[in-house]
Structure 1
Amino acid sequence: MEGESSGLIIGLSIGVVIGVVLAVTAFFCFKYHRKNSQIGNSSSRRNATIPIRANGVDSCATDSSLGTESPKSVMPSSMPLWLRGLKKVNLVTATGILEYSYKDLQKATYNFTTLIGKGAYGPVYKAQMSAEETVAVKVLATDSKQGEKEFHTEVMLLGRGSLASHLYNEILQPLSWELRVQIALDVARGLEYLHDGAVPSVIHRDIKSSNILLDHSMRARVADFGLSREEMVNKKVSNIQGTFGYLDPEYISTRSFTKKSDVYSYGVLLFELIAARNPLQGLMEYVELAAMNTDGKVGWEELADPRLDGRVDVEELNEVAALAHKCVNPAAKKRPSMRDIVQELSKIHKSSHVRRKQKEPRTPRVDSVIVNMEQLDRRSPTSQHQRVESLDSTADSIDV
C-alpha cells in the first residue's frame, strides 16, 4: 500500500515538473516569435512608402500602413513648395496621392520626436519639410482600422485640402469672391445641423480655416471633431481648449462653452474669408479699426483681400461683413443663432446672384425681328411691293 502511494506521489511530481518545463518553454518560444515579428514589421515599415496628399498646406496626412507602389504621373502644378523642391522625385498617383518614403518623413520629424497632438486614431507630428513649409504628419495607430477607412475617405472626397491652404498659399489661385461666400454658406449649414439638427445638439468648439476641408467641387465640409461635445447647460470646463484667435472671449472668462461660442468662431472665419488675414496675426484688431469707419452696414470694403483685385460685389461684401460683426459681439446673447445666420446669408447670396444676372448684357433675338416683318407683310398688301421698289432703288444707286 505504501509502495503504491509512493509511486503515485512520484508520478504526480514528475508530471508537475514536466508541465512546468513545457509551460516555460512555450512562454520563451512565444516571446521569441513575437520579438522576431516586431523586427520584421519595423523593417518593412522602413521600406514602405507613405502617401501624402499633394494639395493643401496644412492638410497633408500620412498612413504608414500603405506601401504599394503607384504608377508614374506628372507632378501637379499646384503642389506646395516643399514638394517641388525635393531632390528625389517621388511618384504621384492619378488621384493626387504622393508616394513619400518613411525615411524622409522620419528625417522631417526628427525621428518622430516632434509630437504636437494625439487623436483617436493615432499621433500627429510636426514636420519641417523646408525653410518655407511646415506640415503636420498623422500616423495611424496599427490597430485603427476605422481610422484607416476614414483617412481614405478624406483623401478621396476632400482632395482640395483645407480652406487655410487656399487663403494663404500664394502658389494657389486666390479664391473668387463668389466661391468664398458659397464656402461660408456651406460651413454655416454644417454648424446649423450640429446645433439644431443633431440629437443631442453638438458644439464643435474648434471652428477655424484649417478645419474646413474642400472637396473636388470646392464645396466645404466641417472637419476635426476632436474637441466637440454635446451641449450641456451651465457646464464649466477646467481647461480652455480651442485655437487662440478664434476663441470666444466670454468662454475664456466664464469657462462655459455654448452654441454662441461656435457662432463667435464662425464670425472670425467670415472675416478671414473676406480679408485672407490670419486671426493669430491681428485680424480682429484690423476688423475693429475698420468698424470705427463704418455705420455697421457699409464701409467694410477696405477689409477685402488685395488678391481679389476689386473683383467683388461691394454690396454683398458689406452685408457679409456686417453679419460677421454681429457674430463676434462680445455679449454672447446678442449674437445670432446659426439658423438665423444661414437664413440671412442665403438671402444675401440670392440677392447678389440677381444683381449679377441683371448686369449681364442682353442681345436682341433675330427670330423675333423676322416674325415682326412677316406680320407687317400680312398686315399691308402694298408693303411687299414697296420693299421691292426700295431694293431696286438701292441697286440703281450702287450701279451709279
Structure 2
Amino acid sequence: MNLHVLFLPIVLFSAFLYAAPEPAMPSISASLHGPQRESIFQFSAEAEAESPGMSETPIVHHQNLNKRILIALIVCSTLLGGIFLFLSYVWINRHKYLKRSSRKSQENMEAANGVSINTVNVKFNYSRMADKKSSVAIFDFQLLEAATDSFSKNNIVGESGSRLVYRACFDEHFQAAVKKGDSDADREFENEVNWLSKIRHQNIVKLLGYCIHGESRFLVYEMMGNGSLETQLHGPNHGSSLNWHLRLRIAVDVARALEYLHEHCNPPVVHRDIKSSNVLLDSNFNAKLSDFGLAITSGMQDKNIKMSGTLGYVPPEYISHGKLTDKSDVYAFGVVLLELLTGRKSIEKMLSDQYQSLVTWAMPQLTDRSKLPSILDPEIRDTMDLKHLYQVAAVAVLCVQPEPSYRPLITDVLHSLIPLVPVELGGSLRLTESVFAENSN
C-alpha cells in the first residue's frame, strides 16, 4: 500500500483544524458601558504599569474546539473505513483469482504427469492443445461419442490387448484413434498418460488426450493410416504392402524409438511390451511405438510388479526370475525382426494343445545360410542382396539370445541396420533410381 494513502486521513484532519474559521466573539469592551468600562480600562492600565512584561491571556472556548475535533474524528473514521473496505474487496478478489489459477495449474500438471487424473471432462479445444506441446487435452465424452458414431463397429480399426481402437472423425480436417478400456486397467491407463505426456519422439506415437466417463477410460492418439504392423503382416494383405526396404525401415524406426527410451530418457525406460501390434504405421509406413501401459523405469525388479507381457515376445529371464532390463526390450525387438523376415507370427499353433515360438522354429535355420532364404516371407523372397539378408539375420540371432549379456545394446542394433536402409527411406544406403524403383514394386 502506498504511504500517501495512510497519511491522507492525518493530513485532512490537520487541514480541518487549522483552516476552520474562528467564530465571531463579541468584544468584552463593547459589551460594557459607562463607569464599568472606564474602571476596567483604568484597572488594565494599572496592571500594565505594574507588570509591563505580561501579555494578554487568550480565551479558549473548549466547547467549540471539542466539536471540531469530534467532526474531524468522524471524517477520518469514515475515510479509514472506506479505505479498509476497498482494500478488503481488492484482497478477496485477488485471493479468488489466485485460487482459480492455482487449481487450473494443478489440473494441468496432473494431466501432464499422470499422477492423479481428475474425472472432470471439458470440451476439446484443438488449437489450444496444439499450442501446448508438453500437455494433453481432456476430451468430453459426448465429443468422442459423436466422433466415433457411438463407437460403431464400423469404426473399429484394431485391437490393443483386450481394448478396441476406434477411428474418430472430429471434422473433415482432423481424425484420431480412440482406445477404449475400463477401470480394471486404471494403473495401465494412468501409466500410459504419464509416459506419453512427457515423451516426444518422431517414432513414438503422440497422445492427444484422454477421457474418463463412468467406468470407461479412453485414450486419444494421432491417427496412423496403415494400422499396426501385425495387421499388415498377418492380416488380409499378408505383408504384400511391405517390400524388403520398407521392412528394414520399420525395424530402424522401432530401434530409434527404443534407443530414445533406453539412452536419452532420464531415468531410462523399459517399454516391456514390444510386439508387432504395438508398432503402428502412418500413411507412409513410418513406424511409431505405442502402448506404454506396462512401461517402467529401467532396472526395476520390484516383487510387486505384476508379471505382464505377451507370450512369444517375453525373454526367458523375465519368465524365470522376473528380471527386467533394457535387454528385455532388445529380445522382443528381435522377435519383431523375425516377423518382418519370415512373415510368421510370434507363436504358431502346431497341434490342438501345442504351440511353437517363432524363435524356437527360426533359430536353427537363421544360422544356416543355405536354409535362410527358404524361411523368408514369400512376399520378399529373392528381392534383396543376400549379404544384407545375412547381416539382418545375424542381428536377429543376437537379439534373441537366451542370455541377456549376449544381446547387443539397441544402439548397436540401430547402427547395424541403418546402412541397409536406402537414403530415401531415412537410412544411409545409396541406390540408383532404377534399383530403388524395382524394389519398391
TM-score w.r.t. the length of structure 1 is 0.54
Per-residue CA deviations over 1:2-46 (Å, capped at 9, x if unaligned) read: xxxxxxxxxxxxxxxxxxxxxxxxxxxxxxxxxxxxxxx99xx79
Code of the aligned partner of 1:161: G
Count of matched residue pairs: 259
Q: Does 1:319 align with 2:391?
A: yes
- Equivalent positions of 1:358-373 (< 5 A) are 360=435
Per-residue CA deviations over 1:70-110 (Å, capped at 9, x if unaligned) read: 7xxxxxxxxxxxxxxxxxxxxxx787889xxxxxxxxxx9x
**Structure 2 stretches lacking a partner, 5+ long:** 1-140, 192-209, 349-355, 437-441
Q: Structure 1 326/237 Cα, relative in aligned 2: closer, same or farther at 3 Å?
A: farther
User: How far apart are the structure 2 equivalents of 1:177 and 1:273?
Assistant: 9
Which of residues 318, 332, 343 is equivalent to 1:251? Answer: 318
User: How far apart are the structure 1 equivalents of 2:382 and 2:276?
Assistant: 23
Map of 2:405 onto structure 1: 333
Q: Displacement, 1:56?
A: 5.0
SS at match of 1:206: coil
Q: Displacement, 1:235?
A: 4.4
Q: Structure 1 288/49 Cα, relative in aligned 2: closer, same or farther at 3 Å?
A: same
Code of the aligned partner of 2:414: V
Map of 1:134 onto structure 2: none
Please tell me whether the aligned partners of residues 161 and 214 of structure 1 are also in contact (alpha carbons under 8 angstroms): yes
Which of residues 287, 292, 295 is equivalent to 2:362? Answer: 287
Deviates more, 1:258-267 or 1:280-289: 280-289
Deviates more, 1:165-174 or 1:233-242: 233-242
Q: Structure 1 117/310 Cα, relative in aligned 2: closer, same or farther at 3 Å?
A: farther
Map of 1:183 onto structure 2: 250
Q: Does 1:304 align with 2:376?
A: yes
Q: Displacement, 1:299?
A: 5.0
SS at match of 1:245: coil
Map of 1:242 onto structure 2: 309
Q: Displacement, 1:254?
A: 1.5
User: How far apart are the structure 2 equivalents of 1:174 and 1:54?
Assistant: 22
Q: Does 1:62 align with 2:166?
A: yes
Q: Does 1:198 align with 2:265?
A: yes
User: How far apart are the structure 2 equivalents of 1:221 and 1:287?
Assistant: 26
Map of 1:85 onto structure 2: none
SS at match of 2:420: helix
**Structure 1 stretches lacking a partner, 5+ long:** 1-40, 71-92, 99-108, 123-138, 362-400
- Equivalent positions of 1:89-238 (< 5 A) are 119-120=188-189, 141-142=212-213, 151=220, 153-155=221-223, 158-171=224-237, 173-232=240-299, 235-236=302-303
User: How far apart are the structure 1 equivalents of 2:237 and 2:174?
Assistant: 20
Map of 1:49 onto structure 2: 150
User: How far apart are the structure 2 equivalents of 1:53 and 1:324?
Assistant: 38
Please tell me whether the aligned partners of residues 169 and 176 of structure 2 are also in contact (alpha carbons under 8 angstroms): no
CA RMSD between the two structures:
4.2
SS at match of 1:205: coil
Q: Displacement, 1:250?
A: 1.3
Code of the aligned partner of 2:409: S
User: Which of structures 1 and 2 has the bigger CA Rg?
Assistant: 2
Q: Structure 1 52/216 Cα, relative in aligned 2: closer, same or farther at 3 Å?
A: farther
SS at match of 2:213: coil
Map of 1:126 onto structure 2: none
User: How far apart are the structure 1 equivalents of 2:428 and 2:149?
Assistant: 50
Q: Does 1:266 align with 2:333?
A: yes
Q: Displacement, 1:143?
A: 7.1
Code of the aligned partner of 2:432: K
Map of 2:112 onto structure 1: none
Code of the aligned partner of 2:213: T
TM-score w.r.t. the length of structure 2 is 0.50
